[in-house]
Structure formats: C-alpha cells, structure tokens
Structure 1
C-alpha cells in the first residue's frame, strides 16, 4: 500500500511539473526586464518632494512604527557615514524641540541587542538614517494598494513607540 501511494505521488508530481508554464525572469517582480542584464534597467524619473528642512508638509506614517518619510531635500546631507551624519544635528532629542523637528525615538538611543539605554547617544547600528528613511516623492504606486493603517494610539501616525512595543514581549 505504501509503495502504491508513493508511486501515485510521484506520478502526480511529474504531471504537475510537466504541465506547468515556465516563468521567465522578465515576469518576476515589477521591473519586467532581464534580471541578469542590468544595462537595460531604466530608473523612472522621480520628482522628490521637499525643499529646505522645516518648510514642507510631513506625510503620515504608512503603518504603526513605520519609519517616517524625510520631508526635505537630502542635498548636502548625504552620504551618511558613522563619522559624518548631518541628520543628528537637528533630530537628536536635545535639539529637535528647539529646531521644530521630529526627535529620533527612544529605540534609536538603545542597543536593541542588549536592551541597554545608551544615555542619549545614538546607537552605532542606527547611524545610517537612509537605510530606513526615504525622501518623500511624487510618484504613482506600481500596484494598486487598498491597505489602510490601523493605528492603536492617537499619535501613532506621527510618532514611534517601537521600544515600548518591543519591551512588552510576546
């Protein structure tokens, strides 16, 4: 009986594999180009939104604790390195209130591997701001999306409580 089930399973697998349509690399993802030919990739023109810091409308977060978008130009601010990070000159908590900017959240001032509070110092793993934060852009979505964020707290669309959520545990 066991051999019959095994043979039937193998036969079904062969039929399924033999009748399936092969997917080409141009059908994978949203680029629709040969994935091994990077020379044929054309980046779309993007109109970045934002001017001088502090003068632009901020977009709400996409979902709770999502990294906020950067509402200003990055000209002269990048590249960001561990030795040179212009973002922290305006976004560290002790400066942000007077500068009228969003302060980095507590999660950026904590070593998330150990849970240790770094006493107001930016975590070494959080220096590369543009790894998570991107500039606001005037672009059309590649795919229709009807996702609606469900924020648990009134100000969650404007601020982060990630460290509090992580400390709640599972």
Structure 2
C-alpha cells in the first residue's frame, strides 16, 4: 500500500511539473509574439534598391532603361544648378559628341566665350583657361614657377604664386579639356528616391551662373602670361 501511495504521489508530482513547464513555454511563446515589431513601412517604399516592386539588388533584375534629354543643342532649357557654383549639367542631346578626345571636342563649337552668347550657350569661364598647376622646378638653390624664382615661403596673399592665365580665352587648359568629367547629361527617368536637398545660393543669379570671376579669385595673385 505504501509503495502504491509513493508511486501515485510521484506520478502526480511529475504531472504537475510537466504542466508547469508547458505553461511556461506557452507564456514565453506568447510574449515573443508580442515582442515582434511589425514594419510600418514596406521595404519597397524605402526607395533603396527598388523601382516599384522590382528588387534591383537581385541578380536577375533588369533595371529600367536610361533615357536622356533629346532636345538639340540650342533648343533645350538650362537646368537650375544643384548648388552655388556647381558645374552646369548638360540639358541637350549628346549623341555623337561623346567621348571627348584630344582631337575632337564638339563642345567648343558653341561654348567658347566668343561665340557662346550668339549660340545661346553657357560660355566657358576664365577658370578653364587657367593653369593652376604652374611648372615648378628647383634649379640650384632657387625654386622656379613658370621660370620665375619665388621665395620658399607661404603667404595668405599668395604673393609668391604664379598662375598662368590665357587672358584671350582661346586655349583651354588641358586639365579642363575633357568637359564630361564634370558636366554630364541628365536622365529623364523618375528617381528611385527624390532629391530633397534645398540649395541656398550666395549670389542673386547663383541658380544659373557661377560667382567666380577673374577679378575675384585673382585679386591677390600675380598672373604671368
């Protein structure tokens, strides 16, 4: 009888223990479900790697074709600059104009200063006719820039810097010859995520014109042609 009683008590204890564990698991599972935070914004609405419902990050995804402005040069509307003194973007068709080579730069036909106004084009600024990297060499104990001896010192007034400017604006500095390294045609595609940047222009006409001019940035610089 005592043995039967002990067995009965043991089974009852085991049953209570089992029920208790199951109850704890059920409670933990329910709490875990409550702790899951559901996303309030769909992934494809974030604009990162998606066009509509197309995941562009997948290997088999085909991004939309890029279409550029097709207006002929001289007939297009200029773009507002992205910020003060930003390189203006190309608003017209560039078919047959790119790539630019050392022997073929069709941009010059319309944008050289002596013809730009009559062509309705943005004239190439004086900075593009300026060599900001003058030839520097050491001869004996002297430092020469463009063949002129300068002191081995620095100055806030840049009095010892020699910069060559083609004041007639007829020959582009070679470092500026490849126009498309800064100026680019703009696609007509809808942006995946819109640009929310709001520029603050420092010049009244800053949205369409550079504020840099020869008198401003060469004020304290000696220019030797």
TM-score by length of 2: 0.53
Choose which of 104, 115, 137 in structure 2 pairs with 1:95.
115
Task: Decide which structure has greater strand share.
Answer: 2
The corresponding residue for 1:53 is 73
TM-aligned CA distance change 1:106 to 1:44, over 3 Å: farther
The corresponding residue for 1:140 is 190
The corresponding residue for 1:86 is 106
Query: Is 2:149 the counterpart of 1:124?
Result: no
| SS, match of residue 50 in structure 1 | coil
Between the aligned partners of 2:124 and 2:62, the Cα distance in structure 1 is 35
How far residue 96 of structure 1 moved from its aligned partner, in angstroms, is 0.6
Residues 203 and 211 of structure 2 are in contact (CA less than 8 Å); yes or no, is this contact kept in structure 1? no
How far residue 167 of structure 1 moved from its aligned partner, in angstroms, is 5.2
Query: Is 2:57 the counterpart of 1:32?
Result: yes
Between the aligned partners of 1:82 and 1:41, the Cα distance in structure 2 is 38
| SS, match of residue 128 in structure 2 | helix
Residues 49 and 136 of structure 1 are in contact (CA less than 8 Å); yes or no, is this contact kept in structure 2? yes
Between the aligned partners of 1:62 and 1:41, the Cα distance in structure 2 is 31
Between the aligned partners of 2:63 and 2:184, the Cα distance in structure 1 is 16
The corresponding residue for 2:87 is 67
Aligned pair count reads 136
Structure 1 unpaired stretches of 5+: 1-28, 35-39
TM-aligned CA distance change 1:93 to 1:144, over 3 Å: same
TM-score by length of 1: 0.68
TM-aligned CA distance change 1:99 to 1:143, over 3 Å: same
The corresponding residue for 1:15 is none
The corresponding residue for 1:112 is 132
The corresponding residue for 2:97 is 77
Residues 105 and 161 of structure 1 are in contact (CA less than 8 Å); yes or no, is this contact kept in structure 2? no
Larger radius of gyration: 2
| SS, match of residue 138 in structure 1 | coil
| SS, match of residue 141 in structure 1 | coil
| SS, match of residue 116 in structure 1 | strand
The corresponding residue for 1:149 is 199
